[in-house]
Structure 1
């Protein structure tokens, strides 16, 4: 016990080391203290009965260390403590590096997942645009064919009227001219769109683009802008540039197709005046 105290160890630690090493001497106790110097419970009280066992150490014959031996032991202990501290610091450094690697890998996976979602969304939008263009082209072709059919029908009717008897020759031109007026060419049925694509220009120059159901109320678009705008908070109005129009409170309850915002349109976000 005295040897450990002279080497600078606290009494409670010296007693604990002697008790837990079976009172095998100062060197064994010193080794135990070196191994457990960083334990969080190093200064906790001894277990019941251990203090009495440690007290008996003073009754056992022990070789008294000289001052040189004590200094050498102290230096050896200090070197071992430095080595253990260095090993612990290196271990903590490696663990921190591994933790940072895992964090970076997790962040990379999140970025990759977001990029894939954006790519899928862009492909979906591109496919929708191609479908809309194809539908518009087919509609124009149907109208063109209908016009050609009407022209052919009028030419055939005119030729038939020209072959009538001479007595009705004077009335034929008037009848031929009245026939087209009486039977106007059939126009292609108006296409019913179920979706509309809106581009919304914010006050800072940025733009939001999204699709909405044609029967959705304009209020749904307003809510979308409030949740996704990047130009700050505050009151705003929606309107169109061509024709110039600012939507009123009643307009927000009307469906998009009734406001002329189908199949696509550009909306302008502006601050209320």
Structure 2
């Protein structure tokens, strides 16, 4: 078979440009050399001594392997001399090779073999039909068509790559946006969790301080009662009953201080009611003439955990537990004016 250089020369290309293309493409084949010639037809031929296969600057690629049989037939036909018959005697008898499966005729075995690989046909026979050579006008037109087709394929490939790049960029941006949103949601949840924990810690601190304060008051009262008992023993007087003195302490105090706070006529009493089981305290303001039962009814209206008939009230300071009979007494009589803190259980 003729070399790539001979084939290009037979197609009518300038010998200097053929030499340039073969050297620039490094002898990689007929198609790269022809692509080089077509792409550089408007450029002057450089000094071939400075040309190497790596400095050609050609970005051409071989034509896709999937081009159809007619394109390959045309390309081979343009060479004019490819795959000549091995003997002049055989050329006179068999001028072509015919595919009996589809009826196509080929000028030489190389084209027939290529057709067999592409189509899968395997039935061929010699034929006396002669493949007419292309005229100069047909050759030029076929070259232009091949060049246009090659440009179209490259353009289509560039469009596909651009679409793929755009799709990948869209996916990347969407993933980044979702990741940022996830991080923001995580920060919000963490902030809410920390705020809730601070709130719980604050409540626990308040309870602890209240418990400490109550314990201090209880210790003070215990020391006062102990001092009173010891004084009574020293003076030879009866030992006072601590429970009795605690239950009657508010009333004597009010009577003993007519000009103090306990002796004033307060029309309203402000109460803070705490549950023995813990939780948020309840506050209310009632007339001083209201009974302790009305306090129980108020508390029952705030929480289902309280029953008016079973609830009991107590004070930490002064330490006192109110009986069921105290429910009918007024807040003023119980010494709870103008304000008091009750423990409900």
Q: Is TM > 0.5 for Structure 1 vs Structure 2?
A: no
- Structure 1 or 2, whichever has the larger Rg, is 2
Q: Which has the higher contact order (CA 8 A, sep 6+)?
A: 1
Q: TM-score range by the shorter chain?
A: 0.3 to 0.5
